[in-house]
Structure 1
Amino acid sequence: MKIEVQREDLVPALTSVAAVVERRQTLPILSNLLIKTTEDGFLLTATDLELQISSNIASKVVEPGAITLPAKKFADVCKALPENSRISLEVSDTRGYVRCGRSRFSLSTLPAEDYPGLEGEASEQAFEVETAVLARMIERTSFAMAHQDVRYYLNGLLLEICPGRLVTVATDGHRLAKAESAVSALQSWEDKRQLILPEKTVAELKRLLAGKVGETTRLEIGDRTVVIRVGNNVVTTKLIDGRYPDYSRVIPTQLQHSALLEREAVKDSLARTAVLSYEKQKGVRMTFEEGTLKLEVSNPEHEEAEEEIAIDYQGGSTTIGFNVGYWLDVLNVLDGKSVEVRFLDSEVSAILSDPESPNELYVVMPMRI
């Protein structure tokens, strides 16, 4: 096998694909990338048997073939080569040779026929969505996923496909993020389908979808897997097997109070007061009064912090304790000038939202301080 490719065509795809490879593998070949020539270039593939990413790369094929190379070493070598250079990859016997100008590297190989690919199921249903829309929905909700929770179905992102619309939801049991968007390709969709994407898949999708303007992404849904086609990349992932909790029951409806806050102002104040918060709780006491929000923090060392912020609120005085980290996570992911807070009392969860993005909301549970 011998191929020639421009560095700028290879490195971005190599970076995306190689990210799937785990440092510690039970099978040595899973530390490798599969390289297989096609009619107009070659296909680069990596998998951990739960997630697989493949990328088509245009190149000159001098001699067709297939081989696997060490993922990290091959990626590091190609990234270190000069910009705008041309890279030659040739396989002879059991070695892979990377050449560029006067540079030459010899890498170990393993047979391509031994590579255990992750095959997607026959597609039961499929649809296309604007890439920028899907990227925004994932970005706005994925931060609320649980990590290593015994309730394994929370360690992922819910993708709910409904007639005419797409919904993403993430929760760790203490806060919840939800976004939805109308999708024209789903107008003829007849039922509701829920997919739980694993955390690692979500992280890779965020990278692959970022910055794609004017493009569409195709989702091909099987019973236990989903294939996601993003440009020249194909993501095949197993789904988390489980039933996601009824998130609608977590979203409070009887919230009588509403306050409008300047997002940057409250974010900066929370970041300052958080410095003295108790490390284990990260609690902040928030008192809503007419025209003012008062933030109070204390810790076991009897250190205290107080701040007051001017807000748009007309109502009685209400004090609620919150995890400051949960608030900051929401404020960091939003990009509008204002954030609306709807609340009732210290026993009921509050809802945060951007008034200009009504299809996105964030539920934060109160805490005792």
Structure 2
Amino acid sequence: MRITLERSNLLKSLNHVHRVVERRNTIPILSNVLLKAEGAALDMKATDLDLEITESTAAMVEQAGATTVPAHLLYEIVRKLPDGSEVLLAVNPDGGTMTVASGRSKFSLQCLPQSDFPDLTAGSFSHSFKMKASDFKMLIDRTQFAISTEETRYYLNGIFLHTIEASGALKLRAVATDGHRLARADVDAPPGSEGMPGIIIPRKTVGELQKLIDNPDLIIGIEISDSKIRLSIGSVVLTSKLIDGTFPDYQRVIPQANDKEMRVDCQTFARAVDRVSTISSERGRAVKLALADGQLMLTVNNPDSGSATEEVAVGYESDAMEIGFNAKYLLDITAQLSGEDAIFLLADAGSPTLIRDTAGADALYVLMPMRV
């Protein structure tokens, strides 16, 4: 293999693929990126056996071929080369090393044979459809913060994606919960998604997708089977295993009869919560919301350092009540709201609260209270 390509193109592609590679690997080949040159392109592939990313970039191919080299090492070398330079990648005749040359810089990297590189893409997909990148990004952005990090409840370690009939139309819905809060977002179901299996996309895959979908105007291709999902985003193809588990019946925890409504300016409320929570020794400390007619009093008490209160004007006409929430969870949810106001639908101090966005009904949030 012998090819020449622009440093900027090589760096952009390596940036996409090298992130999948774990820093520590017991299997040496998994530390490597597969490079395959043919036609007028260089194809790169990296995997951790659960997630695989491939990308193609234009290159001048003098001699076709394939090899694998350490992913993070190659990325760091290319990152440190000067802007605008050209890079030569050439596998030496013995096949055991690859030369990376640019200007006066020259590196020799150890290779492992491409035949050892695992392939995750085997198998067929039962459903395939296309959708706007902006819609798919909205689904994951609005819900990913609620993904559980508790490994014992592995079936909550991702976003549950499924189709559902809502308001007389078929919707593609994303749901995430960690047992303390729940986030749900809907978009109109794209043609071809009807009857797709409900799937749980793992947390690491969601994180990669957020970085890869950098152009909201793209149309992305999605293919789904019972065990895998494949997304085609421009020149990048991401294939991931799905979480093999059953997502709980989230509908049961969404309150239907919360009759006390509080309407508050989203930015004002978020800033007030952020200010009073400064007194907490940790971000998870409860903030107390005391509601009376048209008025909200936020209070945080910390026996070690003192207390803080702040008053916020709200739209509230029900009975006076007090309820406590985790300050960080309140800030996570208000950060997702795009409307000017947030609507809190409350029942009592011990029941879950429903939070809606005035900008539209496509997302809702449920938050469990804390004792204060």
Tell me if TM exceeds 0.5.
yes
What's the CA shift for 1:291?
1.5
Match in the other structure for 1:174 = 180
Aligned residue number for residue 234 of structure 1: 237
Q: Find the aligned partners of 2:196 and 2:352 in 1 and give their Cα distance.
A: 27
* Residues 120, 273 of structure 1: alpha-carbon distance in 2 compared, 3 angstrom cutoff: farther
Equivalent positions of 1:9-48 (< 5 A) are: 9-48=9-48
Number of the residue aligned with 1:200: 204
- Pairwise CA distance, 1:129: 1.0
**Correspondence for 1:112:** 114
**RMSD of equivalent CA atoms:** 1.5
Shift of 1:192: 5.3
Match of residue 156 from structure 2: 154
2-side partners of 1:175 and 1:158: how far apart?
15
Q: Structure 1 length normalisation: TM-score?
A: 0.96
For the pair 1:85 / 2:91, whether they are aligned, the reply is no
Q: Which amino acid aligns with 1:310?
A: A
Aligned length: 366
Matched with 1:248 is: 251
In structure 2, the partner of 1:309 is 312
SS of residue in 1 equivalent to 2:198: strand
2:3 & 2:250 partners in 1: Cα distance?
51
What is the TM-score normalised by the length of structure 2? 0.95
Tell me, yes or no, if structure 1 residue 335 matches structure 2 residue 335: no
Is the aligned partner of 1:213 residue 2:216?
A: yes
Please name the residue that 2:127 is paired with: 125
The 5-angstrom pairing of residues 62-73 of structure 1 reads 62-73=62-73
Alignment of 1:260-275 (within 5 A): 260-275=263-278
Q: Could you list the per-position Cα deviations for residues 49-80 of structure 1 after superposition, in whole angstroms to 9, with x for gaps in the alignment?
A: 01000001111111000000111110011111
Distance in 2 between residues matched to 1:257 and 1:352, nearest whole Å: 12
The residue aligned with 1:99 is: 101
SS of the residue aligned with 1:75?
A: helix
Q: Tell me: CA distance 1:96–1:192, structure 2 relative to 1, closer, same or farther (3 Å).
A: closer
Deviation at residue 20 of structure 1 after TM alignment: 0.3
What CA distance in whole angstroms lies between the structure 2 residues aligned with 1:182 and 1:66?
A: 42
Conserved 8 A contact 1:34-1:67: yes
| Greater mean deviation of Cα atoms: 100-109 or 295-304 | 295-304
SS in 1 for 2:29: helix
CA apart distance, 1:133 = 0.7
Instruction: Please report how far the alpha carbon of residue 338 of structure 1 lies from its aligned counterpart in structure 2 after TM superposition.
Output: 1.8
Structure 2 segments unaligned to the other structure (5+ residues): none
Q: For residues 300 and 288 of structure 2, what CA distance do their matches in structure 1 show?
A: 6
Of 300-309 and 65-74, the range deviating more from structure 2: 300-309
Secondary structure (helix, strand or coil) at the match of 1:265 reads helix
> Which structure 1 segments of 5+ residues have no match?
none
CA–CA distance in 2 between the matches of 1:322 and 1:12? 42
User: 2:21, 2:71 within 8 Å by CA — same for their partners in 1?
Assistant: yes
| Pair 1:344 & 2:350 matched | no
Q: Are the aligned partners of 2:340 and 2:358 in contact in 1 as well (CA < 8 Å)? A: no
Q: Secondary structure at the match of 1:207?
A: helix
- 2:189 corresponds in structure 1 to 183
Contact preservation (8 Å) 1:120, 1:226: no
Cα deviation per residue 1:224-245 (whole Å; 9 max; x = unaligned)? 1111111111111111001100
